[in-house]
Amino acid sequence: MDAIDREILRELQTDGRLSNQELAQRVGLTPSPCMRRVRQLEQDGVIQGYRAVIDPEAVGRGFEVLVSIEVRRDREAVEAFEEALQDIPDVIEAYRLFGSPGCLLRIAVADLRAYEQLWIETLTALSGVTEVNSQIIMKRIKEPSGLPVDG
């Protein structure tokens, strides 16, 4: 990956809807070689997809919670827990961690009542869960804006 590929990545992380023409102009290429580079970055798995960034309030999910969960430390329990998370749409990110807590979730729901219902009916009922701790997000200070791509 060279400096031009990295510039392509920076530009696409800022605006994934750039036309190839505009992208080529911004990175100093003609459209054809620019398109070849983008396609190669996609084929190599460097660019994994394109997404729209949605305002959580606009879709009724402005209440976000970070949840640390302890799961029994055996393979079956961990695998069952991770599989069950896939079917919970309110869980928008999930990470298995080294140490304690064993898992960190980011959850987006409508309000405190919706989170309480999810907590009681779903999170604490998941197989293998031994502890659930919640931290309500007061304010998002820094939005995700892509990964640094400096070499």
**pLDDT, tens digit (0-9, with 9 covering 90-100), for 108-118:** 999 999 999 99
Residue-wise DSSP of 4-23: HHHHHHHHHHH-TT--HHHH
In contact, 77 and 127? CB cutoff 8 Å? yes
Number of residues written out for the chain: 151
- Say what the pLDDT of residue 144 is: 83
- For the cut 90, the answer to whether the pLDDT of residue 143 exceeds it is no
Q: pTM score, two decimals?
A: 0.85
- ∠ CA 80-86-89, nearest 5°, is 135
- For the cut 90, the answer to whether the pLDDT of residue 94 exceeds it is yes
